[in-house]
Amino acid sequence: MHLLNADLHCHSVVSDGTLQPEELAERAHRNGVQLWALTDHDEVDGQARAAAAARALGLDYLSGCEISVSFAGTTVHIVGLGFDADDAHLRNGLAATRGGRGERAREMSEGLAKVGLRGAFDGALKYAGNPELIARTHFARWLVEVGACADTNEVFRRYLTEGKPGYVPHRWASLGDAVRWITAAGGIAVIAHPGRYKFTPTEEYALFSEFIAHGGRGVEVVTGSHTTAEYQTYTNMALEFGLLASRGSDFHSPDESHTDLGALPDLPGKLTPVWTALQERIARG
Ligand code: AMP
Ligand code: MN
Ligand code: MN
Ligand code: MN
């Protein structure tokens, strides 16, 4: 079970990835992935296509999404796995979470215009496969296109993070709502890439305890967003809090992502992989 090449975190054009769900399925399969989930931000519209493509390739599939949550003044991501993608309550919750993105994007564009970068809204929209899901990533791609920065990492550093001209604070879903939407739809909620949040130990402890109190059951330990040291940190956290462990590249694009689909170390043997608790939810390829 531990040695299964599971990749349970990636993005398609349905959110801020650059590949179609079918292209991701093929790439995952080619890279040796044995269990796959497409986890677009705040949207499950790619799920039927991803599941069908996986099935055609003989690849096992779990439904997925990555919900944006506001917690302790920070944006936290909660991955949902193995839920019923047609669940109306989950779909309504995700639609509400997506709701403020258009207005936020307009404000981001105004902020960028103030530092001489005009037309960012239309520029970013060109890159958004799903206009409802216009994200900072799409702004980053446009800013690279117009030569404002050399790559998207530089864009985030200079323009799109707290205190920078294109940054607009936003109120996402609550932690409890996100966990409940996933759980009530038959899935398991997982804290995405905990190493990325700049929490104090107290805030991080609060995130883990409140997440569990709401019914959350998993944490990403091995992810493209973690360093080797963080694999160890979150292995210990998973054991301390009794959480199931997940593994996923967070792949967005062949041109941008440094971790390819399936190209991750195995989960440490002392952890319980999240997929052991989702066996009945796996669509067998
Ligand atoms: P949003 O949901 O619009 O706030 O956009 C968040 C997305 O931006 C994340 O899902 C990542 O894909 C991307 N992102 C966030 N921070 C960075 C960064 N420092 N470098 C590159 N991409 C980033
Ligand atoms: Mn993203
Ligand atoms: Mn994320
Ligand atoms: Mn992600």
pLDDT confidence of residue 2: 72
252 lines ligand 1 (CB under 6 A): yes
pLDDT confidence of residue 153: 96
Identify the DSSP state of 266. Answer: P
- Nearest ligand to the CA of 13 is 2
Q: What is the pLDDT of residues 38-78, one digit of tens each?
A: 999 999 999 999 999 999 999 999 999 999 999 999 999 99
Best residue among 9, 13, 15, 16 to mutate for probing ligand 1, ranked by most atoms within 8 Å of CB: 16
Tell me which residue has tokens 């902020």.
Answer: 111
Beta-carbon count within 10 A of 256 CB = 17
Helices (H), the chain: 21-30, 47-57, 88-98, 101-114, 120-127, 136-145, 152-155, 175-184, 201-213, 228-241
Q: Could you give the percent of the chain with pLDDT greater than 70? A: 100
Best residue among 156, 157, 197, 257 to mutate for probing ligand 1, ranked by most atoms within 8 Å of CB: 156
- Ligand 1 centroid – CA 216 distance (Å): 23
CA 285 vs. chain centroid, Å, equals: 23
137 lines ligand 1 (CB under 6 A): yes
Q: What is the pLDDT of residues 19-38, one digit of tens each?
A: 999 999 999 999 999 999 99
pTM: 0.98
Q: Could you list which residues have their CB under 5 Å from ion ligand 2? A: 16
Answer yes or no: are the C-beta atoms of 153 and 181 closer than 8 Å: no
